[in-house]
Chains A and B, each alone.
Chain A
Amino acid sequence: MTLNMGPQHPSTHGVLRMILELDGETVIQASCDIGYLHTGIEKECEQKTWQQVVTLTDRIDYLCPLTNNLCYCLAVEKLLGLEIPPAAQWMRVLLNELTRINSHLIWLGTHSLDLGAMSLFLYCFREREDILRIFEMFSGQRMMTSYFRIGGLALEPPRGWQQAVGKFIDAFPSRVDEYEDLLTRNPIWMRRTKGVGYAALEDLLDLGVTGPMIRAAGLAWDIRKSEPYSSYEEFDFDVPTRTEGDVYARYQVRVEEMRQSARIVKQALDGMPSGPYTADAPQVVLPDREKMKTQMEALIYHFKIVTEGFRVPEGEVYQVVESPRGEMGYYVVSDGTSKPYRVFIHGPSFGNLQGLPKMVEGRLVSDAIAVLGSIDFVLGDVDR
């Protein structure tokens, strides 16, 4: 029997269409049909100026918007050869880790909702609400923040941000303990996730899978450690791994990652350097608003940057960051004008979904739901 797990389905985490060949309840063959969320972002990027593309990048992996911003900004800053001040770098790390916690909370809530542990969904979203309020405090937006710009941050951090972030991060580890109390030794959870969705590490790497799924299969590969960016080398954190490679191992890895991210946020909060929040590059960075209103040069720079945009020297770069889902990369090609020539977005979920048939074939349909949740994909990443 061929079953269409169609684009509209509460468990497909977006508009993913899976076509399952079933024999009773066992999946014989699974294939994915993607493209329902394709909005042509890559083509759109070629029509906008370099700074305008930042708002497009938010919407690619919409559950970790700041990570997308960071990756794109780092790529263009490499092409421009900009030096970002430490305060901006540390703030980027802090907000990036809050975004990772945000994304993992959504994963945990929706994954457990799929498998029946419905109350956890609301607890995770209660925490997420605090994070979204923090983002709103910083950038005025809850989700599509576009807070990182080429050259640093969009705005100066608001007054009182340390209290808000501190309050959240002090309470957070005990909340993670609450979630673990509910799930980790829960016999139903263990029956549904242990041994489910296993694939060998070599197969996963060969199929293009990245991120927590690789770490749950035994390889301690984290781009924050192997190819550090934005001053991650100054932070002290562990990379959790497991060896079993099943859905339960991935659950443990991601929960542990939430704790490690909280550790990084605490370090960033305590040790935040002072200084400017944008690079010293008047050709690229918008001048201070008050200066723009009173000084002629600032006004001219502002006008030129906003209308024409700045030029980026010819060249290309492939910048990777560790997004909550895996290796997110931006391959940016510049031809010397004020608009990108080509922006290729390597969304981690695109590669992760390629591993799906391997993990699901030969197992029951309900295991397929558990595996879908454990892959933690976002269709925006997949389809762009």
Chain B
Amino acid sequence: MTLEIAPEKIAAVCRYLRDELQFVRLSAVTAVDRYPAEPRFEVVYLLHSIVRNQRLRLKCRLPGEAPEIDSVTGVWRAANWYEREVFDLVGVRFRNHPDLRRILMPEDWSGHPLRKDYPVTGQKYNYTGEAL
């Protein structure tokens, strides 16, 4: 089942789902780039309740210019890396995320590879080595 949620309400909705409806597990947070449709980004939350044996999908549409949404790491700690991955590959910022930085691409990469307007062949990059 899929629910479309207004982006401002996502943290409250997730907290309710975890506390009242036992959706204790967050399977993943991911994003789909619907370029050139607006609102451009669709952030998808995949929830799971073991007790009820049910899965739920939440979707939030965000505009293409400076997309931002509240982080749900306060509800499920699992969201930490998934939101970092969405930030890294798609470019959506998560407010109040404890550690929002790139996770898969090198730290000084520019651009967000999974966007539809990012070339498949990538871009030239000189590996400079990272600080510890």
| CB nearest to A40 among chain B residues | B113
Q: A353 to B81, alpha carbons, bound, how many Å?
A: 10
A331–B30 contact, CB under 8 A?
yes
Contact of B80 among A43, A44, A333, A354 (CB under 8 A): A354
Give the distance in Å from the alpha carbon of A344 to the alpha carbon of B30 in the complex. Answer: 7
Q: Is A162 an interface residue (CB 8 A)?
A: no
A residues in contact with B102, CB < 8 Å: 35
Shortest distance from the beta carbon of B26 to any chain A beta carbon, whole Å: 7
Q: A residues 311-352 with Cβ under 8 Å of B?
A: 316, 318, 320, 327, 329, 331, 333, 341-342, 344, 346, 350-351
Residues of B near A329 (CB, < 8 A) are: 27-28, 46
Count A-B contacts at CB 8 Å. 82
Q: Are A354 and B77 in contact (CB under 8 A)?
A: yes
- A208:B53 contact, CB within 8 angstroms: no
Q: Are B105 and A38 touching (Cβ within 8 A)?
A: yes
List 19 other contacts, CB 8 Å, given A207-B78, A208-B82. A34-B104, A35-B102, A35-B105, A40-B122, A43-B114, A43-B120, A47-B120, A205-B50, A206-B78, A318-B57, A320-B27, A320-B55, A329-B27, A329-B46, A342-B32, A342-B33, A350-B81, A351-B28, A384-B104
B89 CB contacts on chain A under 8 angstroms: 42
The reply to whether A327 and B50 form a contact with Cβ atoms under 8 Å apart is: no
B66 at interface, CB cutoff 8 A: no
Give Cα A11–Cα B46 distance, bound, in whole angstroms. 32
The answer to whether B76 and A206 touch across the interface, beta carbons within 8 angstroms, is yes
Q: A19 and B132: CB pair below 8 A?
A: yes
19 contacts between A and B (CB under 8 A): A19-B132, A34-B104, A35-B102, A35-B104, A38-B105, A43-B120, A206-B24, A206-B76, A207-B77, A219-B50, A227-B53, A318-B27, A318-B46, A331-B30, A331-B46, A344-B28, A344-B30, A350-B82, A351-B28
B106 touches A35 (CB 8 A): yes
The reply to whether the CB of B97 lies closer than 8 angstroms to some CB of chain A is: no
Q: Is residue A294 within 8 Å, beta carbon to beta carbon, of the partner chain?
A: no
**Residue interface mask A353-384, B partner, CB < 8 A = 1:** 11000000000000000000000000000011
A44 to B113 Cα, complex, angstroms: 11
We find that the number of chain B residues with CB closer than 8 angstroms to chain A is 33
A4 located at the interface, meaning its Cβ lies under 8 Å from any Cβ of chain B in the complex: yes
Check B113 against A208 for contact (C-beta < 8 Å): no
Does B44 lie at the interface of the complex (its beta carbon under 8 Å from any beta carbon of A)?
yes
Contacting pair B76 A208 (CB below 8 A)? yes
- Rounded to whole angstroms, the CA-CA distance of A42 and B31 in the bound complex is 12
Interface string of A38-53 (1 = CB under 8 A from B): 1010111001000000
Partner of A38, one of B32, B77, B104: B104
Contacts of A383 in B (CB 8 A): 104
Docked complex Cα distance between A227 and B53 (Å)? 8
Residues of B within 8 A of A19 (CB): 132
CB <8 Å contact, A351 and B78: yes
Q: Does A221 lie at the interface of the complex (its beta carbon under 8 Å from any beta carbon of B)?
A: yes
- Chain B residues 66 to 104 lying within 8 A of chain A, measured CB to CB, are 76-78, 80-82, 89, 102-104
In the complex where A34-B104, A206-B24 touch, is A341 in contact with B114 (Cβ < 8 A)? no
Instruction: Indicate whether A42 sits within 8 Å of B46 (C-beta atoms), given known contacts A206-B24, A208-B26, A208-B78.
Output: no
Kindly list chain B residues whose C-beta atoms are within 8 Å of the C-beta of A307: none
- Which residues on the B side are within 8 Å of A243 (C-beta)? none
Which single residue of chain B is at the shortest CB-CB distance from A383?
A: B104
Q: Does B40 have its Cβ within 8 Å of any Cβ on chain A? A: no
* B residues near A34, Cβ cutoff 8 Å: 103-104
A226 CB within 8 Å of chain B: yes
Instruction: State whether the Cβ of B15 lies closer than 8 Å to any Cβ in chain A.
Output: no
Q: Which residue of B lies closest to A219 (CB)?
A: B50
Q: Once bound together, how far apart are the Cα atoms of A125 and B12, in whole Å?
A: 50
Task: Kindly state the separation between the CA atoms of A43 and B132 in the bound complex, as whole angstroms.
Answer: 29
Q: Which are the 9 A-B pairs with shortest beta-carbon distances?
A: A208-B78, A35-B104, A344-B30, A38-B104, A342-B32, A346-B28, A207-B77, A206-B77, A226-B53
Shortest CB-to-CB span from A6 to chain B, Å, is 10
